[in-house]
Structures are given as structure tokens and as C-alpha cells.
């Protein structure tokens, strides 16, 4: 079954593959094989039966499209899969075919398979998040101390440094990765409870079998069934949503700083990247575009996961099924945005000269706060602020530099003149002086963030699963 | 590129096909062909060039997967498509290849293609909505007058008729179809504005070319460009969302009435339908499941469409692209739910006997309001209501029929006894008497709804496009 | 009970008042009074009883806060209200107190009251939407033909006119108002069905009473009960969401055009408007801020309305109650955004000179498409586009005007030189020539939009209800 | 400014108070007082000035409504508040009035105030979550081992125990509380960065002042500014959303189990609780209603928080402001649901007898899986499952007990008869035998959950802030 072209456009082939039929069906097969092996180890079924079952738990033996197609009639992906698996086992070992899927239920195999493919999805996310962080850290080394116009509520505000901006982006990404590393182990749990969750078919052997299945699948010690208790699971989905939110903040800044009139940043260009079918001069910020597109979608995926939590009794009707589809959609779209930013960050063009030009282009009014605060020490904040408000308005209206007006005001006021040396005011208009606090704060932040980023990159909790189960 | 299995499970092959690569690419080709023909008719390009272009505007000539894959780098599906089309035209007619996509921009071809496939999507929705309505109308003929327990806030309330319930479902569906018929023509509009919407390349010929393109694609007279003005478009998406909401109301009622302990309704069963991989006796309401799953998803798709409306300047960054993907997702999931209900409605099993049993099983307290209102005419509503509240509690606690207690109360109270004949009270406990108002109201409603449904079914505004463009 | 300060900040006092306790309670009282009067007219209750009831249906007689507080225990706002009303009627007319709320149920009075206050909300929305449209039309008169840099995907694209931008905003707003005028009459309907919707208590008199209640409340002929069929209702909510989406598009453009480095637009400033507690020179675009804040919220309100549609049986548990709160929240936040834009539009500062400066500041590359298309007529589009792509890159890198490079290229190429007069290329760099198509398209659009806007402003369907019911 | 009545209805007075004007304004004043004291301690301002400022940082001295009203014009709540505070300080100490809010910006005081009131909100949530957990633990003691019909996809499935259900609810709530205890300390952080985040006005003293402000407000060591980096903050909001999701699962089960036809659970009733304005016998599950209403809303609040994360540059336009309002709305509605369930859980009526009756009412088909699995050991799962599928259908159609049919089948089949003793099959129909695995699994789960719940209840991280800052 083919994907909507607009969906594929916004994702990555890697992540699409993770949630596609062959991958999910193989993960279901992995569950069935582990189940058979675990039950053999606990003496529930024979070793031969387990071997016979595990031997055919290979997705490539089956017509995945046909299984998916049949699932719609059955109302569950597991039913046709188990039927086909049973048929296939029967070709080799009639007895073994009697104990396929023994003690298990559809949701066990579907949820566990989703956990297994999500572990691979997490590996991709983690890899590219580390790459993005590394690229931003490298940008800090090169451009961290460059003075930059700070903007609040979409208006020029005052002076900051590009490194201060980078520190903010990095803090958010490092925090996101830390929270993902904490949330995932709670979420990536075996699902195994049988028909209604109590492992009734396996009687007292249930917990031991569950532990063995988890072990074979390299999942943590099971904490019980979570058929209709999706809190830990959805909490991981939320963290993906928050990650996308933090990506969207970065992409927003990139898009704004990359506007033609501003030109402080540019995404890498190259053969065919970001062109236009109509306009020959266009270099569109397509990486920001993918991240912003993901950010339009992830919040709604998360809302769907949350609203699907009211699952009825021992298995939900509609909500569980919707959750699975939204879950896949969330990862597929999140990775589209993350990968795009990671790729672009590695080649991001930073124009320090343009940053200085922009800083200087507003008649110096972005230094108004600093001047006001300096004068405020003498005449108080309200009076100083009112003075600079008036001077800023004049600077813009009369196209005069605020510096000129401020020095004039100093000269004209005996009290100020006595207390504030001219040089003090002049220096406030030096971008590097103005950026000094931002530089210091950012350097402090980086001292904290670098070792955290290093530790996270070293952890690689899902690296093992990067190249498939 | 393959679809997430959980996504495919919740949709229909038909609707998936509408938004899949080949279909969308063909629709883009249809736009390019119509554009060439229109420009030839207006003398912008030569007739030969138009023939050469239109002659290769056939999706099967192209590697759709490769175009989609290349689109990610380009940041637009149209760029690689136009490039391939141009290459192909050049094989036959060098001059014609110079005027491929003339005066147009990526968004023109992508939006118009989306309009064209959405028209086919609307045809599917309309067909199945009419079928669902027809099945419910037929159920009214067979079971409309059956008395039924009414339930409010998930508690037994009073008596209604199954037909009253049907009338409610039908009114919502007929209303949805009316609103869709009104919203779609505003939304299904040609997109054609060139680079920034003003048709600048075509100069004064722009509007005439636009009119001809629309005509060739059987779209209404164009009302101007809507590159970043998505109101009419999103409004149609909202109506799909509302339709899914109305489906979810029906599915909720079906699921509740079909509970084992209630058994008033059952979805059709049959080979493999709604079975369980663990429990041999299960007959799961899988059609309700699909509709309820759609209802978990559609509101979030609509929210995404709405939040993507803040599109910047003359073409949005991320929001437009996200909107297209969410748009497809909305239709894909809506049709999954609609088709499931339409299929099930045709074979819905209604158990009138069980409805009567359930009505009678609550010691008659569901008639308390009727008795209270009868006595209220004599002793006033507050007093009558307090009396019946007490009697109802006793009936349930002491497991006595409310009728017995009510007649006793009548006997014990001289005022009531004088004014209310015993037979009057007795008759209030007759389910058919109790259902009489509901039956009357429903019959009135059906008298309104039947001709409306007939008119809607006769309209079939998109039937022409059912089997592909 | 007091509002969250952050909620109040984003709305308007007028709209907050519409959904506040006193207003909603008065609307509930209006329903009860109309019900009593209608029943007297149909002979269900006595004329004296009706007078007694209607006489005390005045919110100011009751402790609204106490009713709201009691509602939480009861699980319904109507229960304590009806109890208090009954008590009060009893002070004057014992018999009348027996027939208060006769034949009605909580949802009848609550839904109808919500309809009545929503009618007032619609009057406010309609008034301010007309005002916003009028201001934008006036801006068209003053600045419609000014050339403006068009921007796509957040990058300079080509040339448009400010009027073309205005035409887009206007088309969206006029469309929104048309859809609201169509949707509201379907939604603003009497709710009256009694306990389970069938008007059972009133027997055959039910429909006649319903018609009279509707008439007294100036509501349209009732089409039956919609206790759990919320399609028409939610559809109106969706249109409010779409309106907010269209406002957010405008606010996005304003915020982007108002950036310090761009300065094409400015919201009106004035005493205290958009200041900063830290920066004396700041003039924050607070109106855009309110519209953008509304746009973050409305999509989620709409999603909540849609997801609340799966209402169980004859009255929903939780979903109906949530819908009412989200409904109020939607209008409250939508009006915050609409009013802010309407106020600002009246004083929007447009800087045509700055528009020209910005157009000219990019070395003329925004004219690349026009030049390419002119040359394409001679050498074909692919070759012309490749040439201009290269020249644009050079213009930006070498800081030379594209015009110079283009004329040079013309001179250097014999074929081009022969076919394209130099003056033809030169004229393409004239902003007014470049904007000509945009101007023409916008003038055409305005010719359509002006009479539509006039008709909508004249309609004023809810003007009667502007100053309270 | 008054709240929408429908909003107030769904929340609690306690939580509404936390986010209401007086409470938020006091928290803003607490920030300003702590800022003045911290700056005095670091020698930035004089001790006298700090005392003068802190002395009037009392919300009751100010007209909160007027400040909120003025905030709309200013575009920020902080601007009128700082102005009023400065005026008031000036009455007592002119010099001190010059240094009010020194080095700070609007977002510092607003975000920190929101943190402070959120800490109180967390205290309420934590208190009532502990109470709900305690009540469910107590129910386990009383009714944990009662056999109960398990239901999957809204159909009778098999046998579980009421304790197994309780264990699921408890695991979700304990998990939610653990995640909240982990998420809140990351989120509840001082915001303090001055105009653009770099603490420029305070120069090198900035970090020391920040540490002192945090200490005075009992907030953790500051980790830098988070003006536009909202990840940790929104992550806490997500956890509130997940908590509401887990509450909705419980409420869904309660509502379903409390249906008139099922009657296994009932919310406590009492004077006026859950009555109807029309039906005297109604006992509506109003607590479930509040939790379900919250669950319709929280996912959308979370989506709004996530989608508001794309905050521009150094301060967001619209998104930050929307986030604050949605944040308050999330807590206000979550507490409405939580408190309702906590109150009802303390008095929840559990009807073990009815549970047994329901188990027995379905002709024993809910034991079909157990019988199939027993026979499967002899004839294999596919054959056994097919047999029981057929017998189950017959049992329901012919109204015979499945036990009778199963024993008959056993007698009729020589192979089965030889291998399966009759008593083995008979015992499978004993509800207590059928529930044994569920009982065992639940007891194991409770052994894990009880100490976790105890530890969480003992932690009480925000208990100090329960009665206001």
C-alpha cells in the first residue's frame, strides 16, 4: 500500500522503513519466535515446536501486503499474521502449529512489535539529535562571540551574541535528549498478558515466560501488562513532541535570520537544493521548512495519543488502534524535521559581518536600554527611560544616530554631565561591549552543556538497533 | 514508499489510492496538460507545443518514486516533476520543452492536483455517505417504531423509540452531506497565479488562460489565487471533520448498544469478521472500531489544517507543506470510518425483543418521569418529583416494580386517588405508550429527512470522477 | 469566580461578559420565561402561572455565583437554577411554582441559553469583522497600487503590489463572513426536547409549544432536537476557527512586514501601547500579538469541539459539558484577536517609500523571473532560467546590480541581442512595471469584493442582539 | 473579570484561585520583592531601597482588575504592574522607586510568577492524586479478589478480577505521580534574564543576583534563562496531560461498569448529587463526567503548549502569551477531573454480587478461551479454537450453557474424552478458578505498587506551598 506523496515528502526513507509493513511484520515475528523459545525454556511447549516456529518467523516468507489487507476485515493485524504463521509452521511440524502464539493475544504481539520498531526509531532520533548538537557546538567554536541584534516580539530589542542564541538552542536540545533517555526505558516495555492481561493460559508459569520473552528481545524486566494503561508509552510520545517543539524554535530563528533583508544565516545550498520552479534566484530554506512542517503536525499527533488514552476495560475500541497509527505518524514526521536540521546545521553559513551591519542599521536605538540604565543610576530609572524613549523616537524619525542625541542630552543636563563621563556613554554603543554579558552567560552555559552533550552522545542507548532488529 | 501498516489498516484501499503517488502525479500532469492547451487556445504558446506537452502528461511514463524521492532535496514535488516532464517533452519537440509549466509555479500545480484528487475523494465520501443514509432509512422502515430504553449521562433515563435514535443519526448525516455539498464548490478551485500569484508572466492574458485551464479541468470559474488564503479550503476540511464527528456518535451508540449485557444491536458477522486471536467466542464490533479510530484522528487533522493557516507572505514555509499531508491524512482516515459504518449498516442486526427486555429490567424506574409528570398536574411538579424519586429508590433497593409502588402511593393519597385514575398510571408503564411521543417526533423528522436524502443522493456532484480523473 | 489573568489578557471585556455568569443565567431565564409563555399560549399551563414565572425570570434577582457553585455538586447548571427559580415563583404563586421548567430538561435550557449568548457573540464578531474589512478597503484606496516585494518560503521572490496583498486578506475575510452568515442560522437553533428529546411530557402539544418558544426567542422554526447531534453547531465553531486562521495569516504578514529591518508596516502606537518594561525604544506589534495568540488557541478549541461529538445515547457524559466550555473559550479568544486587528487596521501605518527601498535592496534579483521569462521567449525557459540563476548568484556575490549583468548578457549573446531590445529588459527592472499584473489582478479582485463586503455589512443579521438579549 | 460559567463548572474553586488575578499578582510581587532583596544583598541597590520595595509588594494594596485591564493596551501584564508598584514605592521612598524591577524584564516577572503559582497547583494535584491512590488501595483490600467479567473491544471477553482492574488503574496513577515528581523540578525554575536574557544591566553581578532571587523564592539553582526555550516547561504540561489521560481511562471504566444494565460500580450519591431536572430516578455519575470532560480538553491544551514552542528570537509574539493562558487552562481543567475522581473513589460502591451475576449471564461463553486452551493441549489450538467458536455460537443462539455443550463435546470425542477429565472442564467454569491468574498477577502488582505509593505520598514535594505563597 502506497503512502500519500505529501507524507513521504515530509519524512525520511529511513524512518518510513521502520514503520512500514516488512519491518513491523518482522518485529511481530520476532515476538512470536521469542515467545516460542521462552515457552520451550519454561517447559510449556516442546523444544522442537519452538524451533519449528522460530524457524519460519521471517517476514520475507510472507506476503506482507496480503496480511495487511486481511487485517482490515479481521479488525486486527495479528489475526491474519498468526493464521499465516500457523499454516506455515504446519507445513513442517503439525504439532508445533498447535502452539503458535500460545497464551498470547493480538495486542501482545502488536504492541511489542511497535515497541521493537520504536526502539529502532529512537536510535535514528538519538543519532541525528547528537549530530545536530555536535554541529551547533562546532558553530559555537567558530562564531560564538559574534555580536548579534536581539529581537523581542518581532522587534529589534538590544544586543546579544550569536553564541547566546546557540546556547539557548543547545540547552533545549540537550534537555530534550536527556528527557528522551529517561522516558524511553519506561515506555519500551514488553507487552504480554494474554487475552485479558492476566496470562491466564500460562497459569503460574506466566511471569517466568514473560521475563524470558523480554530477555530474548533485549527488553527490560516486565512490570506487568499495559494493554489499556498507556501513560508511560504516551509520555515518550510527548517527549518526541517536545523535541519537535524545540526544533521548531530553531527553525523559526533560522528562517527569520535568513530572510533576504536580514541575511545573518543561510542554509547550505547546492545542486537543486531549495530551488524554485518559477524563480531562478531562489534559495529556499528547505531544512527549516521540514522542521516547521513537523512542528505543525507533532502537537496534533500528541493530542491524538493523549485523547486515545481513555481505553475501555481490557482492550480499547478504536482508541488503541488510532494510537498506533498516530504513534507511527509522530515519529515519521519528527524525524523528517530533525534530519533536515541536522543536515543543514553541518553546513550552516553564518554571516558575522551582516550581523554587525544589522546591529548598526537602526540608528543605535538598540542601545537605548543600556544608555537608560547607565543614566538611571543618576536620575532614576523612570526619568532615564522616558528620556531615552523620546531620544529613540527622534533618532528614528529624524534619521540621526541615537549616540549623537544621547551625548547631546548628556551635555545639556548638568546633573548627568557631572556624573556620567562622555566616554561611558560612547562605549555603550560599541557592539562588543554591548554583547559582553551575553558572551559571558553563553560561555558559562556552554561549560555546562558540553560535558552533558558528550555524555549523551556516548550513551547511545539504542545504537545496537540502528541497522534493524 | 510504503505506508505505516497501522495507517493502512485504518483506511480503505480506494482512498489510499486517491492520495498515492501515481494518482497525485497524474493530477499534476493533468494540470500541466490543461495549462498547455489553454495557453495554445489563447495564443500564448503554439498548438504544436501544447500537443507535444499534453501528449506526455501521463503518469505511467514517469518513475513516480524517483520524483517523490527527489522532491525532498528540492523542497517541492513540482520541481523534479517539471524537470522530468520538460526532459520528456524535449525528446519529441525541443521547442515545446521551452514552454512547459509556462507562467506557472510549484504551488499552482501541487494545489490544483490536490484539488483534483480531492474531488475524487469527495466522490467516494459522497457515495458511501448516501449508502449509509439509505441503510439507516431502510432500518427505520423495519424497526423504527420499536420502543427502546433512552439513556442519558450513561444511565437509564426514560423511553424512546429506536426510530427516534435513527432519526437523530440521519439528521446529522443528511446535514453533513448538505454542508459538504455547499462547502466543496467553494474549496475545489483552480490554483493558478504564477510565481507570486499575479500571473505576471502571462500579462493581460492571465485571466483568460486561467478561465480556460479551469474549464478544461472541469473546475468552476476561478475567483483568484488562494496560495496563502486557505479559508475556503480548510472550511471543507472542517466539514469532513464534522462528518467524522457525526459518525463517531453513531459508532458510540452502536458499541454501547452492542455490549454483551445489552445486546440491542449487532454488527454483521461472517467469515473472519471481528474474531480474536485468543478468544473463540468473540465478535468484535470492528466497523464501530474503524469509525471510532477515525474520530480520534480527524479532530487533530482539522486542528493541524487550522493552525497551518498562518502562511507567510506569498507562500508559506512549512505550514503549506504540512497542510497538504494533513489534508490527505484527514480524507484517508475519514473514509476508513465512513466505509466501515456504511458496510455494517447494511447488515446491522436489530434485536427488538432485547430492547423490550432491557426496558423492563430496571423495575420500571424509567417510567418515573412520566408518572411524576402525570401526578404533577395534581400535586405540582416538585412534590410529584420528590415522591417518584423516593419510590424509584425503593423499587431498586427492594427489587419491587415501580408500578406496584406507584399504584400503592396513589391508593394511599386521597388527593391523588381522586384526580388520577389507576388505569392512567398503569398505562404509563406500557412501553409502547411510553414511546408514543418519540415515535411521533421521529415520524415527523423522517418526513423531512427522506426527501432531503433523496435529493442529496440524486445530486451526486462528483460521481463523474469516481473512477479516476 | 475569577478568570485566569492570562485568559482575560487575551480577550475583550465585551466578549467575556457575553459568556459570564450573569449573561448566561439571564439567557437561561429567558428560555424559562419563553417556555412558560408558550405553554400558556397553547393551554398547557395557565396564563397566570406563566406571568408569575416570567415575572421573576430576571438574573439580577438571583445569586449567580451561588448557582454556579451548586452546579458542580449537581452536575448541571440547570438544576440549582431551576430550584432557585421554583422557590422564587413559589413566593408569589404556589400553583405556578408547580409548572416551572415544565416538560423541559437541563440540556434544553443550557443549550438554548448558549445559543442566545452565542447570537450576541456573533453580533460582536460580525461588527468587528465588518470594521476590519472596511479599514482594509480604505487602505486599498490609499496604498493599493504601491509596488511591494513578494516573498515566498520566507525569501524574496518577485514583485507584487500592496493592494494584491490587501486583496488576499480581504478575500479571506469576506469569505469568512459569508460562511459565518450561512453557518450561523443552521447552528443557532432552539434546543427543546424534554428528558430524552421526544417532548414526551407535552404529548401532541410538543411541536406547537416548541414553535412558540422559538418564536418568542426570535429563533428560527425548530428542526427537531439536537441534544447529541452537534454537527450544525460544531460546524459554526469550525467557521470561527477558520476566521481566526485567516486573521493569523494577516497578523503574520503584519509582524513580518513590521520587523525593524523591513519597516513596511507599523501598528499604530500611542500612550502606553506596545511598550516594554525594559527597553525604552520598543513599539511592539501588540495587535498582531493578540491575533497570533488567538491562532495558537482556536485550532485546539475546534479540535475539542470535534472530538466531543461522540456523545453517548440521549445525553453525553463529559463530552457535552466539555464542548460548552470550549465553545465559550473559542469565541472569547477569537474576539480577542479580531478586535485587536480591527482596532489596529484603522490606524495602520503603511510606508510606501520603504517598500520601494526594500524592493531595490536586493541587487534587482527579484526581477530575475521576469527577465528569464522575457528571454525564454527567444532561447526557451530552461536556458533562460539557467542564465538568470547564474547572473543572480553573481549579482549577490559580486554586489553588482542584476540589471547591469543582464544587459551585459544581452549584449554578449547575438541571438538574444537580435530578438530582445535593451529597453525591454531595462523596463523590467522598473518596480511599477513589475507590479503591473499584481495591480491589475488586485483591481479585478476588489471589483468583486467591494460589493460583497457592502452586502455583508448591510446584512447585520445579529445587530439587534448587540446590546444584550 | 468573570469566568465563563461552563469553565468554572468543570474546575475547582481551589485551582481557579491559584491562577486568578490576586494570586498571580501576588506572585509577581513576590518576584519583585525577592529581586530587590537579592540586589541589596549583592550591593546592586541599597538595603533601604530594597526594604521600601519589598514593603509594598502586597497584592492587596493594588487594584488587580485595573492592572489586568491596562495590560491589554500595554501588551503585557508586567508593564502596568511595574508602573503601579513604582508609583507606590515613590510615595515612601523616591530613591527606591528608581530601582524597582531593576535589570529585569516583563517576561522575568511573568514567567517566575507562573512558576510560583504552578508550584501551588502542583501541590493540589499531588495531594489529590495521593488521595485517589489511597482510596483505590483501600478498595483493593476490600474487593481486590472479586471475579469480574473482562471485556475487550467493548465485548465480553473472559474472566479477570476487580483487583486486576484496580492494579491497572493504580499502576497508571503511581507512574503518573512518579513522572510528575521527576518533571516538575526541571520545569519550576526561576526566569531571570533581563531585556534579552543576558542579564546585561547587572553585568558580572547577574549570576549572583539570580542565585539569590531563586534562593529567596525557594526555587532551585538557576540553569540560565528559558525565555524562548520552553522544553522543560512544556514537558511538565505534557505530564499533566498524561495524568488526565490516565484519569479518563478510570472514568471510562467507571461509567461503563456503572451503566444501569451492568451495575458493578456506583459513584456515591447523596443530597443533590447527580440528580436530573427532569427524571426523578436519575443518579448520574458526575465524577466520571468531570474526569471525562477534563480528558476532552487536556489533550488540546497540551497541543497548544507544544505548538506555541516555536517562539521567535528572544521573546515570542503571541505564542508565549497563548502558552500562559493554555497552561492555566490545563491545570484548571485537570484538577476538576482529578478532584472529582478522588472524592468519588472514597465512596465508590462496588457490587461484587452483580459482578458474579454478569459473569454468569452470558451462557458461560466467557470461559470459552479457557476451555479451548485446555483442549488445545490435546487437539491443538486451531482445532480447539474452532470447536469452541462453534459451541459458543450455539450456546448464545440456543440459549444453552456453554458448559453443557462443552461437556457434551468432550463425551462425543474419544480423543478428548481420554485425555481431559470432565472435572477439569467443569472447574474452568468456576469464576474463582477462572479469576485465579488475574488475582495472582494483581497481588504481585500490588506488592510493587504499595511501597511506591507510600514513598510518593511521603515525599510531598510541594506541601509547603499548599496554602498560598
Query: What would the mean pLDDT of B81-96 be, rounded to a whole number?
Result: 94
Q: Considering only CB atoms, which chain D residues are within 8 Å of C245?
A: none
Q: Considering only CB atoms, which chain A residues are within 8 Å of C382?
A: none
Nearest residue of A to residue C361 by CA position? A261
- Asked if pLDDT for residue C469 goes beyond 50, the answer is no
* Contact residues for B214 (Cβ-Cβ < 8 A; gap 6+): B189, B190, B192, B220, B221, B222
Mean pLDDT for all residues in chain C: 93
Kindly list the partner chains of chain C, i.e. chains with 3 or more CB atom pairs below 8 Å.
A, B, D
One-letter-per-residue 3-state SS of A438-459: HHHHHHHHHHHHHHHHHHHHHH
* B317 → closest Cβ in A72, A255, A317: A255
- Asked if pLDDT for residue C307 goes beyond 50, the answer is yes
The C-alpha cell at C48 is: 397566570
Q: pTM score, two decimals?
A: 0.97
State the Cα–Cα distance between residues A302 and B300, nearest whole angstrom. 9
Q: Which residues of chain A have pLDDT under 70?
A: 1-3, 270-282, 467-469
Q: Of the candidates C459, B139, B20, C332, which has an alpha carbon nearest to the alpha carbon of residue A5? A: B20
Secondary element (H or E) of residue C432:
helix C431-434
The C-alpha cell at C95 is: 400553583
Cell 447523596 sits on residue: D270
List, for residues C358-406, the tens digit of each pLDDT value.
998 888 988 988 898 889 888 888 888 889 989 988 998 898 999 999 9
CA angle C110/C116/C121 to nearest 5° reads: 120
Which candidate in C6, C29, C324 is best for mutational testing of the D interface (most D CBs within 10 A)?
C6
Is residue D141 classed exposed, middle or buried when 0-12, 13-18 and 19+ CB atoms within 10 A define those classes? exposed
How far apart, in Å, are the Cα atoms of D268 and each of B339, D273, D292, D343, D350?
Answer: 42, 8, 17, 9, 10
- Asked if pLDDT for residue B195 goes beyond 80, the answer is yes
CB contact under 8 A, B281 and D392: yes
Is residue B159 classed exposed, middle or buried when 0-12, 13-18 and 19+ CB atoms within 10 A define those classes? buried
Q: Dihedral, CA atoms, B370, B375, B377, B379, nearest 10 degrees?
A: -140
Nearest residue of C to residue B187 by CA position? C175
Note the pLDDT of residue A272: 62
- Asked if pLDDT for residue B99 goes beyond 80, the answer is yes
The C-alpha cell at C337 is: 484577536
Q: Dihedral, CA atoms, C300, C305, C309, C312, nearest 10 degrees?
A: 100
CB contact under 8 A, D10 and C322: yes
Helix axes C286-307, A286-307, angle to 10 degrees: 40
Task: Please state which CATH number belongs to domain B117-189+234-361+441-469.
Answer: 1.20.200.10
Q: Name the residues of C annotated as catalytic.
A: 276, 315
CB contact under 8 A, C199 and B441: yes
Note the pLDDT of residue D72: 84
CB contact under 8 A, B326 and A24: no
State the Cα–Cα distance between residues C85 and A469, nearest whole angstrom. 69
Nearest residue of C to residue D339 by CA position? C72
The yes or no reply on domain A1-104+192-225 and CATH 3.40.190.10 is no
CB contact under 8 A, B152 and D279: yes
Note the pLDDT of residue C331: 97
Nearest residue of A to residue D448 by CA position? A223
CB contact under 8 A, B77 and A104: no
Q: How big is chain B by its Cα radius of gyration, in Å?
A: 30
Note the pLDDT of residue A349: 95
Note the pLDDT of residue A469: 41
Confidence grade of residue C224 (pLDDT, cut at 50, 70, 90): very high
State the Cα–Cα distance between residues C126 and A378, nearest whole angstrom. 52
pLDDT over 90 for what percent of chain B?
A: 81
Q: Dihedral, CA atoms, C203, C208, C209, C210, nearest 10 degrees?
A: 100
CB contact under 8 A, C385 and A255: no
The helix, strand and coil proportions of chain C, stated in percent and rounded to the nearest 5, come to 70, 5, 25
Note the pLDDT of residue C361: 86
Q: Considering only CB atoms, which chain C residues are within 8 Å of A267?
A: none
Which stretches within C258-361 are classed as H helix? 286-307, 319-345, 352-360
Distance of CA C196 to the CA centre of its chain: 34
Note the pLDDT of residue C74: 83
Cβ atoms B302, D170 nearer than 8 A = no
- Asked if pLDDT for residue C275 goes beyond 70, the answer is no
* B200 → closest Cβ in C151, C309, C438: C438
Q: Dihedral, CA atoms, A423, A424, A427, A428, nearest 10 degrees?
A: -150
What is the block-wise mean pLDDT of chain D (469 residues), using blocks of 10 residues?
79 94 96 98 96 96 90 88 96 92 95 98 98 98 97 94 98 98 97 94 94 97 95 98 98 97 90 64 87 97 98 97 96 96 96 95 88 88 88 89 94 91 93 96 97 96 77
- Torsions phi, psi of C198, nearest 5? -95, 5
Which stretches within D101-161 are classed as H helix? 106-143
Nearest residue of D to residue C279 by CA position? D195
How far apart, in Å, are the Cα atoms of A51 and each of A36, A218, D437?
Answer: 8, 19, 28
Q: Considering only CB atoms, which chain B residues are within 8 Å of D283?
A: 155
Kindly list the partner chains of chain B, i.e. chains with 3 or more CB atom pairs below 8 Å.
A, C, D
CB contact under 8 A, B279 and D152: yes
Q: Dihedral, CA atoms, B189, B193, B198, B202, nearest 10 degrees?
A: -120
State the Cα–Cα distance between residues D344 and D288, nearest whole angstrom. 9
Note the pLDDT of residue B447: 97
Secondary element (H or E) of residue B122:
helix B106-143
State the Cα–Cα distance between residues D375 and D371, nearest whole angstrom. 6
Q: Considering only CB atoms, which chain B residues are within 8 Å of C379?
A: 98
* B68 → closest Cβ in A8, A290, A294: A8
Residue of B288 and B281 predicted with greater confidence = B288
State the Cα–Cα distance between residues A244 and B321, nearest whole angstrom. 16
Nearest residue of C to residue A275 by CA position? C389
State the Cα–Cα distance between residues C220 and B317, nearest whole angstrom. 44
State the Cα–Cα distance between residues A173 and A177, nearest whole angstrom. 6
The C-alpha cell at C301 is: 478549541
* B157 → closest Cβ in D258, D279, D366: D279
* Contact residues for A231 (Cβ-Cβ < 8 A; gap 6+): A309, D172, D175, D176, D179, D242, D243, D245, D246
Strand partners, D265: D350
Give me the catalytic one of D198, D276, D307, D361. D276
Cβ atoms B258, B251 nearer than 8 A = no
List, for residues C381-392, the tens digit of each pLDDT value.
888 888 998 998
* B312 → closest Cβ in C186, C252, C312: C252
- Asked if pLDDT for residue C280 goes beyond 70, the answer is no
Note the pLDDT of residue C362: 85
Confidence grade of residue C2 (pLDDT, cut at 50, 70, 90): low
List, for residues C71-113, the tens digit of each pLDDT value.
888 888 899 999 999 999 999 999 899 899 999 999 999 999 9
Mean pLDDT for all residues in chain B: 93
CB contact under 8 A, C249 and B311: yes
Distance of CA C12 to the CA centre of its chain: 14
CB contact under 8 A, D231 and A444: no
List, for residues B386-436, the tens digit of each pLDDT value.
899 899 889 988 989 999 999 999 999 999 999 999 999 999 999 999 999
Beta strands in C205-308 (DSSP E): 265-266
Strand partners, C155: C152
Task: Please provide the DSSP assignment of C107-160 as one string.
Answer: HHHHHHHHHHHHHHHHHHHHHHHHHHHHHHHHHHHHHTT-EEEEEETTEEEEEE
CB contact under 8 A, D282 and B157: yes
Note the pLDDT of residue C4: 78
- Asked if pLDDT for residue B7 goes beyond 60, the answer is yes
State the Cα–Cα distance between residues C307 and A227, nearest whole angstrom. 23
Give me the catalytic one of B37, B315, B363, B374. B315
Domain ranges in chain D are: 1-104+192-225, 117-189+234-361+441-469, 365-428
Cβ atoms A340, A291 nearer than 8 A = yes
Q: Name the residues of A annotated as catalytic.
A: 276, 315
State the Cα–Cα distance between residues D27 and D110, nearest whole angstrom. 9
What is the interface size between C and D, counted as CB pairs within 8 Å? 271
Amino acid at each position: 500500500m502506497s503512502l500519500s506523496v505529501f507524507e513521504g515528502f515530509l519524512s525520511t526513507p529511513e524512518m518510513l522503513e521502520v514503520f512500514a509493513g516488512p519491518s513491523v511484520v518482522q518485529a511481530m515475528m520476532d515476538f512470536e519466535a521469542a515467545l516460542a523459545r521462552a515457552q520451550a525454556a519454561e517447559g510449556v511447549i516442546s523444544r522442537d515446536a519452538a524451533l519449528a516456529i522460530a524457524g519460519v518467523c521471517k517476514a520475507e516468507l510472507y506476503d506482507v501486503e496480503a496480511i495487511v489487507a486481511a487485517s482490515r476485515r479481521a479488525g486486527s493485524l495479528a489475526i491474519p499474521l498468526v493464521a499465516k504463521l500457523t499454516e506455515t509452521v504446519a507445513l513442517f511440524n503439525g504439532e508445533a502449529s498447535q502452539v503458535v502464539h500460545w497464551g498470547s493475544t493480538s495486542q501482545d504481539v502488536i504492541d511489542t512489535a511497535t515497541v521493537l520498531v520504536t526502539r529502532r526509531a529512537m536510535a535514528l532520533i538519538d543519532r541525528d539529535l547528537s549530530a545536530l548538537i555536535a554541529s551547533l557546538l562546532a558553530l559555537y567554536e567558530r562564531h560564538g562571540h559574534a555580536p548579534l541584534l536581539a529581537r523581542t516580539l518581532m522587534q529589534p530589542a538590544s544586543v546579544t551574541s550569536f553564541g547566546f542564541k546557540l546556547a539557548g538552542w543547545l540547552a533545549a536540545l540537550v534537555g530534550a535528549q536527556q528527557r528522551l533517555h529517561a522516558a524511553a526505558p519506561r515506555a519500551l516495555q514488553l507487552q504480554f498478558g494474554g487475552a485479558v492481561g492476566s496470562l491466564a493460559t500460562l497459569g503460574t508459569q506466566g511471569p517466568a515466560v514473560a521475563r524470558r520473552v523480554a530477555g530474548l528481545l533485549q527488553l527490560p524486566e516486565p512490570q506487568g501488562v499495559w494493554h489499556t494503561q498507556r501513560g508511560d508509552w504516551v509520555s515518550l510520545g510527548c517527549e518526541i513532541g517536545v523535541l519537535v517543539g524545540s526544533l521548531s524554535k530553531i527553525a523559526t530563528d533560522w528562517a527569520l535570520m535568513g530572510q533576504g533583508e536580514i541575511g545573518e544565516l543561510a542554509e547550505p545550498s547546492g545542486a537543486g537544493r531549495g530551488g524554485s520552479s518559477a524563480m531562478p534566484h531562489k534559495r529556499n530554506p528547505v531544512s527549516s521548512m521540514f522542521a516547521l512542517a513537523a512542528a505543525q503536525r507533532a502537537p496534533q499527533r500528541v493530542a491524538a495519543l493523549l485523547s486515545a488514552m481513555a481505553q475501555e476495560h481490557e482492550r480499547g475500541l478504536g482508541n488503541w488502534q488510532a494510537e498506533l497509527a498516530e504513534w507511527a505518524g509522530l515519529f515519521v514526521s519528527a524525524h523528517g524535521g530533525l534530519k533536515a536540521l541536522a543536515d543543514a546545521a553541518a553546513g550552516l553559513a553564518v554571516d558575522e559581518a551582516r550581523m554587525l551591519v544589522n546591529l548598526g542599521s537602526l540608528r543605535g536605538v538598540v542601545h537605548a536600554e543600556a544608555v537608560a540604565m547607565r543614566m538611571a543610576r543618576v536620575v532614576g530609572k523612570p526619568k532615564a527611560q522616558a528620556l531615552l524613549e523620546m531620544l529613540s523616537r527622534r533618532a528614528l524619525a529624524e534619521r540621526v544616530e541615537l549616540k549623537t542625541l544621547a551625548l547631546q542630552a548628556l551635555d545639556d543636563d548638568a546633573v548627568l554631565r557631572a556624573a556620567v563621563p562622555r566616554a561611558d556613554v560612547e562605549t555603550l554603543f560599541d557592539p562588543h561591549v554591548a554583547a559582553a554579558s551575553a558572551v559571558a552567560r553563553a560561555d558559562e552555559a556552554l561549560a555546562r552543556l558540553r560535558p552533558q552533550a558528550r555524555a549523551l552522545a556516548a550513551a547511545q542507548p539504542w545504537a545496537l538497533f540502528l541497522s534493524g532488529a
